[in-house]
Structure 1
């Protein structure tokens, strides 16, 4: 009969403890504490009429069934599909419970326009289903400094400074900057005028306006963010209308358009991105126009920690906050923090309808709080075909690196205290108001 020591169980337990000393530590997991989804509104009707857009094209433009700039019926459905995805994602991550308790765990804020409010409403129906979610916004007739900037932004001296910041990036030569976008303009003009060759011959379609004939100029400084005029700036607006029509599922082929597909759209988006990069990512412009939003965002990410806050957070402590704004909203903040992303089928840093910068606050297993940031948007095919989204068929996602803060980890973990220092340095206190919303 084999001999077993009387205290064998003690030796076995001791050996197991030596073999697996970190078992409990390994079992610990990172915990998601807070999420802010800063998103662009969904698919809207074109801002200009089909007749106005048609001045630059051989073929007619589709008509939308809603007023200019309003969220379309398909735009509502697409936001609901996004809401389904976010609901599944954040249930899996443990932030949402999947029942009526979620009604008190989410807060929605929107700019005062129809498309931003309707976007948040459509998203809420599936992100927090079964809840009578209120979409908060400023009262009619009021300005929201998170989206419009504070009053100081609209002072004459601020407009002049921003105009100088823009002009200084291009040598004050609007003609030269527009000429640098000529290749993209030629591609778009060939599509609009349905030319068989690129560039279109000067006499190709004499009855239509030509992009390359639009005068280039830096207009008089406005009360607010300045602009630039010329072929590229005009192309920027036209390509946004193309994007919205395509994403809405409009039948361009039935109207006689040829050669319009995703590859063509990708090239056509270039002037819009060039204009946004020039106007809204100029450091001084972004700093002046986005400090208000950045200060509120930081306060929201800090809420519930021991860190001190100098601004009112968005919401009332809910773990999930949705802010519904515009492409300029996201681009200005990205310019302030030097954030960049790339999604397949889009230009660098492009903000498709419904796309969002998502900021997540995680409490890691090691006790450190970090921010993980990603950009989320539906692909052109997901938009046009209104494809259902799920954890198995998600939207496009790109992890975003925050300069001066993110670390060399898969999700570019950014320590919360380092982010607070970086954002407080970037924010201009002369362009924030402290009364909150």
Structure 2
């Protein structure tokens, strides 16, 4: 019996010493490894990050800055019977005031969207794509990218000499306008042209002849004719859906975290800035079911106005939501050169009653349904080759 008792004591002692050595060995491991070994499987599973990998994604569609009129003072005199000023820049080009205004707008949006801090840090990273058809949009793309600083890659555009379908799929031959698309009369185009020239001159601070009223009152009285024409041509479905077919599909793909081979927006970016014209803003306004009125701004898609679409994941089930914001400057602030006095309005989607934030799946369906089936991206639309900056000079175009 004594022998059995002694054997039992020795067995217990050996087990104790063995367990002590194992604990000592475990304690000598790096903390991360030791924690992995000692943590129960259930606890590790509960601590796993279930946040969607897609995260927040933002699309900014911004119009170029303030520019000179397309028409010469002689042409405007012939059309209106009134004198208009000479401009310090070539026809249809950005003015120094317009460049400063656009830079200030981009910096404001950069602080709000990319969350740039005073230390120069960036919460999100962006890319810039500009319309190649006009020198003013190429120049505007450079200004926007520079204003966003290291939070964005340099501005890019399609090859010179072509027509980028992102900025008008019908012009590029990728979509056909409906046969019943609104067509303005010559008189409607004349009134719109004169109103636009008055607006540009007043915003730049240049005098122009009126019919007796003040320059400001003349601008606010005449601009509705220009707004009506833009709305009729570019904000009326289904024509708006055809013109913005490629742009809409590229935006939807980007917000979905998908990038088609023909898309100019890299999948690695979190913020995509697209630099175009008032007509692009007008078309997206219709396609996404948005509307807005800008206080002290008779042009609802005025110089440097920007539409910001932001999607994010929220809730326990990781649902995607979208919000829309319009950034703008009043005509008074543009004229005064207050480049950093940008204002913004949170918008509501027509097909959503949930307020400023709406389910992305619903709005996605609304936007894609506006695109004619015959010109969906990317199957039938090809973006021109992307190249380095091409030598391109000022040119004329109908876009305001």
Q: Tell me which interval the TM-score lies in, with the shorter structure as reference length.
A: 0.7 to 0.9
Match of 1:361 among 301, 306, 311: 311
Q: Is the 8 A contact 1:281 1:331 kept in 2?
A: yes
Closer/same/farther in 2, CA of residues 99 and 124 from structure 1, 3 Å limit: farther
Q: Is the 8 A contact 1:343 1:397 kept in 2?
A: no
Aligned pairs for 1:266-281 (under 5 A) are 266-281=220-235
Correspondence for 1:17: none
Name the SS of the counterpart of 1:165 in structure 2.
coil
Q: Partners of 1:310 and 1:135 in 2: how far apart?
A: 19
Q: Is the 8 A contact 2:124 2:270 kept in 1?
A: no
Name the SS of the counterpart of 1:35 in structure 2.
strand
Cα shift at 1:96: 3.8
Correspondence for 2:97: 74
Asked if 1:229 corresponds to 2:176, the answer is no
Closer/same/farther in 2, CA of residues 261 and 313 from structure 1, 3 Å limit: same
Match of 1:247 among 195, 199, 203: 203
Q: Is the 8 A contact 1:149 1:290 kept in 2?
A: yes
Cα shift at 1:270: 0.6
Correspondence for 1:413: 357
Instruction: State the structure with more CA Rg.
Output: 2
Aligned pairs for 1:241-390 (under 5 A) are 241-252=197-208, 259-303=213-257, 312=263, 314-347=265-298, 350-364=300-314, 367-389=318-340
Q: Is the 8 A contact 1:312 1:436 kept in 2?
A: yes
Q: Partners of 1:38 and 1:111 in 2: how far apart?
A: 11
Closer/same/farther in 2, CA of residues 375 and 243 from structure 1, 3 Å limit: same
Name the SS of the counterpart of 1:231 in structure 2.
helix
Q: Quote the RMSD (CA, aligned, Å).
A: 3.1
Name the SS of the counterpart of 2:129 in structure 1.
strand
Q: Is the 8 A contact 1:45 1:69 kept in 2?
A: yes
Residue segments in structure 1 that go unaligned for 5+ positions in a row: 1-30, 167-226
Cα shift at 1:352: 0.4
Moved more, 75-84 or 118-127: 118-127
Name the SS of the counterpart of 2:244 in structure 1.
helix
Cα-to-partner distance string for 1:68-92 (whole Å, 9 max, x where unaligned): 111111111111111221232235x
Cα-to-partner distance string for 1:256-300 (whole Å, 9 max, x where unaligned): 886334343222111011112222222121121111111001011
Cα-to-partner distance string for 1:352-396 (whole Å, 9 max, x where unaligned): 01111111123335543211101111100111111142xxxx423
> How many residue pairs are counted as aligned between the two chains?
327
Q: Partners of 2:354 and 2:123 in 1: how far apart?
A: 36
TM-score (norm 1): 0.67
Q: Partners of 1:270 and 1:40 in 2: how far apart?
A: 19
Q: Partners of 2:142 and 2:58 in 1: how far apart?
A: 18
Residue segments in structure 2 that go unaligned for 5+ positions in a row: 1-53, 385-400
Q: Is the 8 A contact 1:40 1:354 kept in 2?
A: yes
Match of 1:63 among 66, 83, 86: 86
Cα-to-partner distance string for 1:33-84 (whole Å, 9 max, x where unaligned): 2221101111111000011111244542111222211111111111111122
Q: Partners of 2:101 and 2:239 in 1: how far apart?
A: 32
Asked if 1:396 corresponds to 2:340, the answer is no
Closer/same/farther in 2, CA of residues 98 and 419 from structure 1, 3 Å limit: farther
Correspondence for 1:109: 129
Cα shift at 1:230: 3.3
TM-score (norm 2): 0.73
